Amino acid sequence: MNEELAELKNQEADNEKRKNITTPRANVKRCKVEDSLEDSEFAVMTDELLAEENEIFPESPMASQELIRSAIVKEYREKTVKLSPQGFALSEGSSRPVFPYIGDNGTTCMRNNVEPSSAIYDPLAPVDPIVLDKLMQHISRIPPKPPAPAKKRVVRSAAREGDFYSILILERPWPHNQYGWLFDDHISAYINVLIKRSMRDPTPFWTKRIAFIDPWFLKKWVDDYKQFKIKPNMMKFTGNGYENLVHGKLPCNFQTNLKWYEHVDHLYRCLPTGGNHWVAFHVDLKKVKVDCYDSIIGEVTTKSASKMLEEFKPITLMLPDILNQNIPANLRTPSRKKFAFRRMSKRYTPQNTQIGDCGVFAGINDKNIQGLRLKMAAEILDEGGNRAENN
């Protein structure tokens, strides 16, 4: 009898707990994230908190306007932007090309009949011949790599200066296991290029109020999430790299000194997911949301959506505490509300037709990718070179 009463009480408690779980907001999807073996070591979380953590928010109703702008840019570029494997333009226009219906940011702000500023950053512009010559001169001075031992495969490493650039610029047939997959060093080096360019005046980007998250510190951030899940209240985000990041002190080589919220509203970076795939993301600090841009979405399932949501939890769940500890209350009211996560659909994210070049090359035409890789190598050297090698 006592056992039956105990069982009834347990059932009543479970029913009461379910009543307290908030219903999903309009158009918000909740995914069941499978528990991993590691999760068993973490603190027990309430059903309500878990449900809210596993929400994927819908795309903004305003995204249709962005789709129109993206289509205009895509159509223009497909007709006019053609690069050879050497990074040069294949067609010479009679005058400098003008992007139609694009305003002062060159890519997403549409103003009718306004010619972009000459300072606008155009990732598809041909390589500067002077910068390219500088790259070739630099490569020619690098000592040759010692031959591999007999019957041993040649192993390339981005930590070696010669390999760093050859992986980028040598054209290879696809598919091939030696095609030239990029290393973390390549992605990080080009993020550093963007950081340095964001410091120019006038800015080549759509606004001065942006920041690119330090490439190597993001790896620590993601790793720290394991500890954050155990005891979130014990994590300290001041007096360390997090405070430096928020205050524009990272990377140390070229500090912007732009503080989040005071000078910066938008954060950009790309995140490695699943061990071999990069996705881009945009954090809007004021709107408390994270948009994920994946150039190889594949089949959209609940399982695939939940996996991507889990990859971004270090960002969506840790950011509120990072901001609480580093942003003055007069600029931001302290809140532990998690950042909303949206995985942008294929309608708004250009898709690659093959499974390569998923990082900074998302949505680029396969015919001009080799020229862009060479241009990327030239720009990395021009802005300071391979930091992994220099450090």
pLDDT score of 317 more than 80: yes
Over residues 323-343, the mean pLDDT reads 95
* First vs last C-alpha separation in the chain: 72
2-46 residue pLDDT tens: 455 555 555 555 555 444 444 555 555 555 544 433 333 333 333
**What's residue 251's pLDDT?**
92
| Placement of tokens 């059903």 in the chain | 47
**What's residue 52's pLDDT?**
57
Q: What distances in angstroms separate CA 385 from CA 138, 162, 256, 264, one per listed residue?
A: 10, 12, 18, 26
Task: Show me where the domains of the chain are located.
Answer: 63-142+157-390
* pLDDT cut 70: percent of the chain above it: 60
Length of the chain, please?
391
Residues 6+ apart with CB under 8 A from 122: 106
Over residues 268-277, the mean pLDDT reads 88
Residue 310, H or E segment:
helix 302-311
CB atoms near residue 31 (< 10 Å): 19
DSSP string, 207-224: -SSEEE--HHHHHHHHHH
pLDDT score of 148 more than 50: yes
Average pLDDT of the chain is 75
- Specify the pTM: 0.73
pLDDT score of 329 more than 70: yes
Residues 6+ apart with CB under 8 A from 234: none
Over residues 196-217, the mean pLDDT reads 89
Over residues 134-159, the mean pLDDT reads 85
Which of the listed ranges 70-74, 282-286, 357-361 does the model predict with the highest average pLDDT? 282-286
63-142+157-390 has CATH 2.40.440.10 classification: no
**What's residue 277's pLDDT?**
84
Enter the DSSP assignment of 270. E
Q: What distances in angstroms separate CA 182 from CA 36, 65, 107, 304, one per listed residue?
A: 29, 33, 26, 24
Of the pLDDT bands very low, low, confident and very high (cuts 50, 70, 90), residue 83 is low
